Amino acid sequence: MLVTEREGRLRIVSAEGVVSEPLAGVPEVDSGAYSGLLDVAVHPRFRDNHLVFLAFSEPRARGSAIAVARATLAANALTQVEVIFQQTPGYDYAVHNGSRLAFGPDGALYVTLGDRNRSSMAQDLDGYGGKIVRIGADGTAMSDNPFVGRVDARPEIWAIGLRNAQGLAFEPGANRLWAVDHGPNDGDELNIITRGANFGWPLVSSGGLEPDEQPTRALQAQAAAHPPATVAPVRTWTPAIAPSAVMFYTGRRFQDWRGDLFVGALAGKALIHLKVRGGRVVSEERLLEALDERIRDVQEGPDGLIYVLTDNAEGRILRLSPTSR
């Protein structure tokens, strides 16, 4: 498996748990505050093309901004590294980065972009903050994106009105894209992402807004004159759990969990197990609470087991088997 470290290191972890030295060729990252090397994804045809994609905080003349790079994975290095997407402009605030990557059944790459603590940008179609973008493997906008052809909008945008979405996954068989979004003060959200949807931030929120996150007067006036249609979350969490990742389980090792959704929780210090049916959450349980560790990521391995990445001073990868439930 490929594992990123925020400071800019990319490592390979073997099936036996052996951790490699950092791979060469990773682009330079800005690792201040919450920025850094933030996600990695492999191309759907990785076995044939060996392509990997990185989301990272790219240093700019002013602060940093999120970028996506494509590279070829060799034995111990990345080669043919090319930045294929760049958020503009750069920002001084190294927070609310988003930066989760997910390939869809359509072959497109979906990327979450946080609002960078400029909440009203999430409603601005001429900016990337607070959005999910949908691009091809070469970084160009997909031709059927909802705002293609509009002079007032970025063509890569797929959905808007998000604060800091850090989890993204497609539901197998249903072609539904699910995302988790950090709320301001409580009110973390689980959303189903659809083409052109507006999830309301910061005009609508499941939690209380910080003073510096209030909508600008211009946005308030615009919303008063033309109220936007917004999509409500499927599930909210108060108190906040700080959701970090989402994963649908499709394996056979945990028969009772097939098709279920798992959410990593940083503040909640748990792996949250959700049964979802028809786009609704029908039950929830919290796993691994006794560990008292921040859960950064959760993935299913090719062996059908579940792998959990913790986010602590000494982060570790845990492998869950049916006997460890």
Count Cβ atoms within 10 A of the Cβ of residue 71 and give its class: 0-12 exposed, 13-18 middle, 19 or more buried.
buried
Using alpha carbons, list the distances in angstroms from residue 23 to 79, 109, 301. Answer: 10, 23, 21
Distance from C-alpha of 205 to C-alpha of 202, rounded to nearest angstrom: 6
Spatial contact of 71 and 54, defined as CB atoms under 8 Å apart? yes
Lookup: tokens for 190: 């689980």
Amino acid at 16: E
CB count within 10 Å of CB 324 equals 11
Considering all CA atoms of the chain, what is the largest pairwise distance in Å, rounded to the nearest integer? 60
Q: Name which of 134, 62, 64, 140 is nearest 101 in CA terms.
A: 134
Classified as helix, coil or strand, 6 is coil
Catalytic residue among 43, 96, 182, 273: 96
Using alpha carbons, list the distances in angstroms from residue 9 to 31, 61, 180, 185, 230. Answer: 11, 23, 25, 32, 38
Amino acid at 32: G
Lookup: tokens for 64: 């940093």
Which positions ≥6 away from 79 have C-beta within 8 Å?
Answer: 25, 71, 72
DSSP 48: H
Lookup: tokens for 5: 């470290």
Q: Is 43 a catalytic residue?
A: no
Instruction: State yes or no: cis peptide before 202, omega within 30 of 0.
Output: yes
Which positions ≥6 away from 166 have C-beta within 8 Å?
Answer: 98, 99, 100, 112, 180, 181, 182, 243, 244, 245
Enumerate the active-site residues.
Answer: 96
